[in-house]
């Protein structure tokens, strides 16, 4: 079997120890937290390898990163948060997971004050999860996510590939949101903008403080600034300058808009 341990985060709540040492390496019983987990996994016959994120990817990102490795066989795999300590009931987890035959298993644990946590609501007979409730104000369940999971490798297909494409030599940011299916070609500079679903920004353009609507096409060497807003499916021809232009949907712009104005 395989296992993925999610090591990362800034460990701010374990300061001052984490100012000197990464959280999974803080020792309990003269062994780092991580080592307690690794030893429990090795007892189960799990082999160890490592993949490194170059930037924080959230909690599901590392799964996508290790996708090829985890897909090598059709075996289920463990996922562990690195900051949990317990007696690791791995054998029981495997038995339970194989028994219900579904895609994933989450270990839950009982807590006294569920209003402090994200709780899991499930059927007591078969363990099927109904919902997750974050910090419930009314009692719904006293079981919380214990940070240990088993998944079938098929779960990896549920993690969406990022659909936006960004070319080489671009400078994106600060404060830029790029929507799904957006294409940004080479050498584009975007600052303080929202680029909506399916828009296409061609090479060497420069955008600051703009909203680019759905399915718009912005040509090459276009300069847009000063809260220019393109409605849906607007096309802006190459080499134009749009200064504070508000452009209604489905327009094709072939002349510069040098001063703020609404194009109907």
Partner 1 sequence: MLEFHKTKPSGTYCTILGTEATRTQSLEYGCIVENKETHEVLHYVEKPETYISTTINCGIYLFSPAIFKPLETIFKKNLEENYNFDLNTPSKEIIRLEQDILIPLAGTSKLFVYDTTRFWSQIKSSGAAIYANRHYLAIFQDTHPERLAKNGKGKPTIIGDVSIDPTADVHPSAVLGPNVTIGKHVTVGEGVRVRESIILEGATLQDHCCILYSVIGWNSSVGVWTRVEGTPNDPNPNKPFAKLATMPTFTNDGKLNPSITVIGSNVQIPSEVVIINSIVLPDKSLSGSYKNQIIL
- Cβ 223 to partner 1, closest distance in Å? 5
The residues of the shown chain that bind partner 1, judged by CB under 8 A, are 169, 186-187, 189, 203-204, 206, 208, 220-221, 223, 225, 239, 241, 258
Q: Which is nearer to partner 1, 97 or 200 (CB)?
A: 200
Distances (CA, A) of 22 to 11, 14, 59: 7, 10, 17
Q: Which is nearer to partner 1, 66 or 242 (CB)?
A: 242
**135, 143, 237, 251: which is the annotated catalytic residue?**
135
Distance of CA 174 to the CA centre of its chain: 19
Distances (CA, A) of 236 to 162, 221, 233: 26, 11, 10
Q: How far apart are alpha carbons 153 and 105 in whole angstroms?
A: 12
- Cβ 245 to partner 1, closest distance in Å? 14
Tell me the two tokens of residue 214. 């759905």
Residue 251 annotated in active site: no
Closest of 141, 8, 28, 136 to residue 81, by C-alpha: 8
Q: Which is nearer to partner 1, 132 or 221 (CB)?
A: 221
Q: How far apart are alpha carbons 204 and 187 in whole angstroms?
A: 5
- Cβ 200 to partner 1, closest distance in Å? 17
Q: Which is nearer to partner 1, 83 or 225 (CB)?
A: 225
- Cβ 210 to partner 1, closest distance in Å? 14
Distance of CA 113 to the CA centre of its chain: 29
> Which residues does residue 7 pair with via DSSP β-bridges, in sequence order?
none
- Catalytic site residues? 135
């Amino acid at each position: 079997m395989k296992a993925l341990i999610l090591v990362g985060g800034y460990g701010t709540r374990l300061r001052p120890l984490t100012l000197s040492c990464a959280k999974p390496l803080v020792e309990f019983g003269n062994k780092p937290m991580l080592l307690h987990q690794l030893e429990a996994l090795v007892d189960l016959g799990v082999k160890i390898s490592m993949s490194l994120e170059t930037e924080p990817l959230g909690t599901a990102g590392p799964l996508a990163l290790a996708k090829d490795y985890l897909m090598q066989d059709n075996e289920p795999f463990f996922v562990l948060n690195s900051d949990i300590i317990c007696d690791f009931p791995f054998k029981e987890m495997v038995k339970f997971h194989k028994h219900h035959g579904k895609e994933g298993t989450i270990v839950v644990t009982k807590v006294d004050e569920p209003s402090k946590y994200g709780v899991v609501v499930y059927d007591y007979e078969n363990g099927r999860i109904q919902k997750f409730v974050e910090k419930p104000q009314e009692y719904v369940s006293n079981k919380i996510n214990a940070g240990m999971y088993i998944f079938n490798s098929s779960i990896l297909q549920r993690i969406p590939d990022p659909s936006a494409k960004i070319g080489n030599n671009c400078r994106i940011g600060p404060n830029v949101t790029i929507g799904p299916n957006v294409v940004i070609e080479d050498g584009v500079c975007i600052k303080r903008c929202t680029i909506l679903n399916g828009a296409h920004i061609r090479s060497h353009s420069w955008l600051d403080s703009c909203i680019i609507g759905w399915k718009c096409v912005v040509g090459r060497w276009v300069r847009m600034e000063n809260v220019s807003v393109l409605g849906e499916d607007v096309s802006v021809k190459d080499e134009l300058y749009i200064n504070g232009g508000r452009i209604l949907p489905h327009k094709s712009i072939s002349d510069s808009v040098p001063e703020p104005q609404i194009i109907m």
